[in-house]
Structure 1
Amino acid sequence: MKKFIYFIFGGVTFILGTIGIFLPILPTVPFYLASGFFWVRSSDQAYQFLLSNKWYQQYVTEWLVKRKMTVRQRIQILLILFVLLAIPFIAVPNTWMRLVLGCVFIGHCIFFIFFFDKKRTRQKISSENKIFFR
């Protein structure tokens, strides 16, 4: 019974993640990660299906594991985030909320700069290889 519930939750989060590919309001990556969490606890077949899915490989494996994202993709994500944060920024006349929204946007920009920095990633990988091969 427990595995069946995990399977159902995994299916729901997978569907929501897939819808999030086409609707920028829903986040894709967190829903796919939740699918992996649920399906690894339900069955190996469901988990292997998720790992072999082209969208999972494109959005989770490429972005989070390999840290590969084009500049165009980064700009696209930051523009969508800017629009979504600008709506409450304009609609609600609260100074503290505007400061928090500005900090959230700046934090995302800084994260994108450092997380997807190719030089830093190459240095990290080469230093890990040196430690591994000693």
Structure 2
Amino acid sequence: MIKKNIFIILGVISLIFGTVGIVIPLLPTTPFYLLSAYFFSKSSEKFHKFLLNNKVCGGYIRDYHERKGITLKNKINVLVLLTLSIGVSMLRIKNLHLQIFLGLIFICVSFHILKIRTLR
């Protein structure tokens, strides 16, 4: 029972971080959502179903967990949003070290997204 409650709390926390990550480029959304799905699968069928059936993120999570990849359309969407969010951040930040850091994050995340198997 204690383990179940801890997993629910961790699932909610990672879901919050993932949601915040939608608007903050340095905070990754997808890993936190996948972590939430894992915690909910081990603790609450209700929360797990809610996450998997969510019209905004459920399809991404199901594809990644069940089919071990993401569709080409979703890859393109992710890369466009990543480019826009990091690009705007780099333009607004005047510190060269932070711009370089954001550039490295962009390269690493883009590489990871491109490396994931493309579903048909």
> Would the alpha carbon gap of residues 5 and 77 (structure 1) be closer, same or farther in structure 2, given more than 3 Å must change?
same
> Would the alpha carbon gap of residues 67 and 15 (structure 1) be closer, same or farther in structure 2, given more than 3 Å must change?
closer
- The offset of 1:62, in angstroms, is 0.9
Match of 2:73 in 1: 72
Match of 1:94 in 2: 95
Match of 1:50 in 2: 48
Match of 1:31 in 2: 33
Q: Of Structure 1 and Structure 2, which has the larger fraction of its residues in helix?
A: 1
- The offset of 1:33, in angstroms, is 1.9
- Matches of 1:75 and 1:39, distance apart in 2: 28
- The offset of 1:54, in angstroms, is 2.7
Identity %: 20
| Secondary structure of 2:70 counterpart | coil
Equivalent residues of 1:51, 1:57 under 8 A apart: no
For CA contacts below 8 A with separation 6 or more, give which structure has more relative contact order.
2
5+ long unaligned stretches in structure 2: none
Match of 1:131 in 2: none
Counterpart amino acid of residue 54 in structure 1:
N
Give 1 or 2 for the bigger CA radius of gyration. 1
5+ long unaligned stretches in structure 1: 119-134
Counterpart amino acid of residue 39 in structure 2:
F
Question: RMSD of the TM alignment (CA)?
Answer: 3.6
Match of 1:103 in 2: 104
Q: TM-score, normalised by structure 1?
A: 0.57
> Would the alpha carbon gap of residues 94 and 64 (structure 1) be closer, same or farther in structure 2, given more than 3 Å must change?
farther
- Matches of 1:112 and 1:14, distance apart in 2: 20
